[in-house]
Amino acid sequence: MSSEKPLLAGVMGWPIHHSRSPRLHNYWLRQHRIAGQYMPLPIMPEQLALALRALPVLGYAGCNLTLPHKTAAMALMDDVDRDAQRIGAINTVVVRDDGTLYGRNTDVEGFVHNLLQAG
């Protein structure tokens, strides 16, 4: 394992107990010997703004979003990727070095990749 500061990330949603993401991401962190933790973040919709603004303070590198937060979170970002703006939703929040929040939608990349693979 690296001696660097551990990577903290998670998946934010409500409810979140059903998500397999923490188990999957933590498995790959261990497999690649990356010091870090991917946490389930059960956040009710009325707590979303507070939770997102707490990410940099708590040392998180970012988080993934699931229902019901994908649309509401977009308005809370400091900056949003062009594809996400067109779609009207984000599924990934990146905490930048200066503490600002950058929203992306990686569903588009996966969808386009699959279309290209299918030919």
Active site residues: 70
Cβ–Cβ < 8 Å for 101, 78: yes
Cβ–Cβ < 8 Å for 103, 115: no
6: how many CB neighbours lie within 10 A of its CB?
13
**Given the structure tokens 């588009």, which residue do they identify?**
108
